[in-house]
Structure 1
């Protein structure tokens, strides 16, 4: 493909609208041509901000449209399977925001359909792989200059979330990022997960277990600790420390300039994920657009999405029991998906 990639966006809430502006303002080689959302008024308002962008009411019609080359899926997770299967049917590259789907079985159906098609088409929106700090940590660990990676510690804190953000969503929608990060950093699968819930903050919704502590045992024996706290009240904090045989590395210690003055020190803490990972999203979508024009997938694959869903499904079971739950994965189909 020598011309710009003609992109349609499905779901124009906060994330989808952000991606629409990203395509128009900050991504080269791609053009926004259509949007779709059940809230047609909101979609129409967004489309009206750009020249030549069409509103297509039915997302399946957008996917099938001959004027659309590739699709960004930012719709709710429960419709992802149908939309991804349509993308596979029509041979359209897709960047799908997490989760791939809402459960392990439907995620596996997507993986198998893509493999049967014989073409890799799906990239999952685990943007941390594109964050410069995470990418530098991955390169350092892969170099083995610090020896084998033994332990990883993750902290994932949001300032606040709506009361509708329930306990299981902390696992499925927040912890899922740590799942993907650790599979990527270690280069292996999560073998088991245990989710523990301390006394919850009084600032969470009624009955919500927040914060949560999750423990991963990796297939090679490494251990991961994760704190996810979605009502921490401070700001959006994401940190990661990797402990290896001959040293350790930490990212996410601060935003902007770190100042020491008048017996105080510190830096800025962003309000939300768009501030912390804005550059990562830009790099992610640019890489997706470039790869789609070449007919390739360069980021997290449908298999990565399936594996993350499987870990989170086991995590939600552990949240109820407090016990470690093994993660069981199907045999990886071939061809179609790669690590």
Structure 2
């Protein structure tokens, strides 16, 4: 029966991969070009601390959130439009900007090649996102024109474009993560020596908040890490191991719904983290079919509830409380990695 489940999962995951992952440019070139564009735009910085929100143009987080739930092809169309709008924006008068002209030319060349490479992955052109287009027009009219295309205005634009490059990279990366997770698990049955790409994803999925110097642990608050539960599950069937991992990821997402106003990390960093964790949970759930609806592990549910009642609430959802939670969640991701690794050796 297990072989049948994995066979079905393989079929589903191959269909889910879609045009984006069958595109060689996306697989081999996108990440390098994405890194290069961010590196170059970093060299164009000056010391301004203002933001575009000060000029009445808020970053379109809601548009990205909508795109994150779209199909793979629509995500790629969205990223292509971001890059196209970016290039068009830099066609405005940059004579007063603080950066060198050849640096700007190099940046636009990299972004243009990135846009063309992604376009080769998706074929026909779709209607542009109107809200995104209007946002870029506001950047031009509310910031560049109002501030006479000054160096300060261009620094606001530069910082905003860097945020777009980072968000676009995360959006593209989610395609690879969401599609690869099920494929890796499904091929375990056919090739036990396959490298654990899923495990690598689990290792890096932690909140990138500035670590503080607290030496406290959740155990100090009366909440022990559930090592015994992991030990029990390590002896369970492959389906049960996957179901347990899915539950860990789901409980983690629910925990982060608590009040985080005092947390030390940036909000969009947390949003990106939760988006990836959710996509990974969805990918794993598709690998276990009807088994994904198995009864929840009651003890793990109670453990996560204690993290709220014994750590977050008594410490008033403080930055220190959230740092304890962050470290605890990282430990879960590492243990989940080990659990997934055990499937390779069975």
* TM-score, length-scaled by structure 2: 0.25
Query: Looking at CA atoms only, which structure, 1 or 2, has the larger radius of gyration?
Result: 2
Higher strand share: 1
Higher helix share: 2
